[in-house]
Amino acid sequence: MLPTPVYNFSAGPAVLPDAVLRTAQNEMLDYNGTGFPVMSMSHRSDVFMSILHHAEQDLRTLLDIPDNYKILFLQGGASSQFNMVVMNFANGFKRVDSVVTGNWSSVAHKQMGKLSDAEIHLAADGKALDYLDLPPENTWDIDRHSAFVHFASNETVNGLQYGELPRPGADMPPLVCDMSSDILSRRINVRDFGVIYAGAQKNIGPAGATVVIIREDLLERCSERVPDVWNYQTHINRQGMHNTPATYPIYIAGLVFRWLLAQGGVAQIETVNALKAAKLYNAIDSSGGFYINNIRPGARSKMNVVFGTQSPDLDQRFVQEADAAGLKLLQGYKSVGGMRASIYNAMPLQGVEALVGFMQDFQRRYG
């Protein structure tokens, strides 16, 4: 037993609920009396098909996903989706609109142009705002004939999040959203989106599975020229079994979905997440300038809280001492520096309270 609880603030692969890990541990060698580990059973077995089916159904319930949306659990991570959305949905289009708000949407912007006949048009760039605020939807330069509009709901590295999600106007192209780091953290209206995708390792499960939610009518754009492994229509035609899916990550994701339902679903976790974020930002804002976060309050992420002191040396000391106190992996992203506390769904309120307590103590000693 460790003397004090350990809290993991990793940005990803991130903390998973203890209860989920315990269930996985109990079922590790013998899943549900089958005599097999989930890791070692055929993905086409009835047992695994049922795991996949239930994961999908529970995700549908949690996000209230309408029947005209398909759900896939693919491999390749969120990064693979930067290209898959273009290969499948920009086919025959001249332009894709792309909104850049920080690190990940910027990577997406650059990658989307590769092997693409369509122009990837920079519809808005948060650079002019030093990535401390988000360009509002009404400033996006959108062409209604574009294949789609790509953006990220939460910038994991920069700590920015669209508090109010963009809503497509009637003659707007479909919204394609990278929700890797805030999916299932709050209620959303899936009907506002053409495609939602998310790598699992932030808020869903272990790395290896990528959730893609696709509005059915967009599948008409998929061309047979797109190789099967990159082709959404192929994956859907074969019920997610075109090639071997990431069976174990999907199983864990299913346990996380069940855990979320038991917590009261997304509406309940949204309330807890708001409380966690408020406590942490309040600790920063009430520190008299000892801790700094310069992001406009309305654009602050409730998932990734980026902060620092005035001094990189002090930041380093903070990270080291926090680690010794059981508050793990608080160092900021390499290009940003400072600290980053990722407080995804599985981070309990007590973890945030422990961090706030440590911040106050650290400031008393070094402030």
Ligand X SMILES: *Cc1c(COP(=O)(O)O)cnc(C)c1O
* Binding-site sequence positions for L-glutamate: 44
Please say which residue, 10 or 180, places its beta carbon nearer to ligand X.
Answer: 180
Annotated active-site residue in 58, 97, 104, 259: 104
Q: Is 199 exposed, middle or buried (0-12, 13-18, 19+ CB in 10 A)?
A: buried
Q: Is 202 a catalytic residue?
A: yes
Cβ proximity of 315 and 309 under 8 Å: yes
The secondary structure of 29-88, three-state, reads CCHHHCCCCHHHCCCCCHHHHHHHHHHHHHHHHHHCCCCCEEEEEECCHHHHHHHHHHHH
Binding residues: 44, 78-79, 104, 156, 178, 201, 243-244
From the CB of 107, what's the least distance to ligand X, in Å? Answer: 7
Annotated active-site residue in 97, 178, 182, 315: 178
From the CB of 113, what's the least distance to ligand X, in Å? Answer: 17
From the CB of 299, what's the least distance to ligand X, in Å? Answer: 15
From the CB of 118, what's the least distance to ligand X, in Å? Answer: 21
Shortest-Cβ-distance residue relative to ligand X: 77
From the CB of 77, what's the least distance to ligand X, in Å? Answer: 3
Structure-block tokens of residue 203: 């808020």
Annotated active-site residue in 202, 276, 302, 315: 202
Which residues in this chain contact ligand X in the complex, by CB under 6 A? 12, 77-79, 104, 152, 156, 178, 180-181, 199, 202
Q: What are phi and psi of 148, to 5 degrees?
A: -170, 170
Please say which residue, 51 or 152, places its beta carbon nearer to ligand X.
Answer: 152
Q: Is 140 a catalytic residue?
A: no
- Which pairs count as long-range contacts for 241-248, CB under 8 Å and 24+ apart, including other chains? 241/43, 241/44, 244/43, 245/43, 245/52, 245/73, 245/74, 245/75, 245/209, 246/73, 246/75, 246/208, 246/209, 247/38, 247/39, 247/41, 247/43, 247/48, 247/51, 248/38, 248/39, 248/206, 248/208
Please say which residue, 76 or 265, places its beta carbon nearer to ligand X.
Answer: 76
Binding residues for pyridoxal 5'-phosphate: 78-79, 104, 156, 178, 201, 243-244
Q: Is 110 a catalytic residue?
A: no
Listed residue (235, 266, 262) closest to 52, CA to CA: 235
Cβ proximity of 203 and 184 under 8 Å: yes
Please say which residue, 58 or 178, places its beta carbon nearer to ligand X.
Answer: 178
Please say which residue, 10 or 309, places its beta carbon nearer to ligand X.
Answer: 10
Beta-strand pair 95-100/119-125: parallel
Catalytic residue positions, numbered: 104, 178, 202
